[in-house]
Amino acid sequence: MATACGTRALPPKFETGPLVEPALSKRELAMRGIIQANIARFKELLKTETDPTKRAMEKRLLAEEEAKEKHLPVDATKETKAY
């Protein structure tokens, strides 16, 4: 298949663009922010809470939020920095 400039074009199934994950949607960004805020809040509560029942509940909620965070898609636009 020839193009106007004389080079050969790839078949349509290969013209998909770069293999980069899309940036996170607004919903995913909002969810990530809420989850991170919850994690920070539960960590702060655990620093001061003395009641064993409440501490157990806060630990469980913290673990749930951390598990949610692990399952969120990675933001491909964010650069990872090795410090």
- DSSP-assigned beta bridge partners for residue 44: none
Distance of CA 2 to the CA centre of its chain: 42
- Name the pLDDT band for 19 (thresholds 50, 70, 90): low
How far is the C-alpha of 23 from the C-alpha of 53, rounded, in Å? 40
Dihedral sign for Cα atoms in the order 53, 54, 57, 63: negative
How far is the C-alpha of 21 from the C-alpha of 74, rounded, in Å? 9
- Name the pLDDT band for 25 (thresholds 50, 70, 90): confident
How far is the C-alpha of 42 from the C-alpha of 62, rounded, in Å? 6
More confident residue, 83 or 70: 70
Asked if pLDDT for residue 14 goes beyond 60, the answer is: no
